[in-house]
Amino acid sequence: MLRRAPLVVLLACLGAGAAIAPLSVPVPAQAAERWEARGVIERFGAERKSVSIAHEAIPGYMGAMTMSFEPKNTEQLARFAIGDRVSFTFTDTDDGRRVIESITKR
């Protein structure tokens, strides 16, 4: 009977487990990664809610290409025009968005 005792205890725990709610442990939110880049504005989305920038390689992130970014707020893009050379900082969020934190003309 000594050999079966662990199995009996395990089965008893599993049966009792059905009535016990699982523990909920809060997971701390991770900070979005921040990246610095330089590029040229190619186009704006409707109402300037996005901007496409042909950027240089971003070390540790990706090679040179054209990507779309969201401004943190639409006023950030008000003074820019297509063809402007810019330096900008953006965050890559957990839900896949790239949000411009700051942007300046070069």
**Residue 10: is its pLDDT beyond 80?**
no
pLDDT-derived band of residue 80, with 50, 70 and 90 as boundaries?
A: very high
Q: How many domains does the chain have?
A: 1
Q: Does some domain include residue 3?
A: no
Q: What is the pLDDT of residue 33?
A: 83
Residues 86/41, Cβ–Cβ less than 8 Å: yes
**Residue 12: is its pLDDT beyond 60?**
no
Q: What is the pLDDT of residue 98?
A: 96
Residue 71 burial (CB count, 10 A): 22
Which residue range(s) make up the domain with 71?
A: 33-105
Residues 74/25, Cβ–Cβ less than 8 Å: no
Residues 33/91, Cβ–Cβ less than 8 Å: yes
Q: Does some domain include residue 45?
A: yes
Q: Does some domain include residue 7?
A: no
Q: Does some domain include residue 62?
A: yes
pLDDT tens for each residue of 14-71: 555 555 555 656 655 556 689 999 999 999 999 999 999 999 999 999 999 999 999 9
Return the CATH number at 92: 2.40.50.320
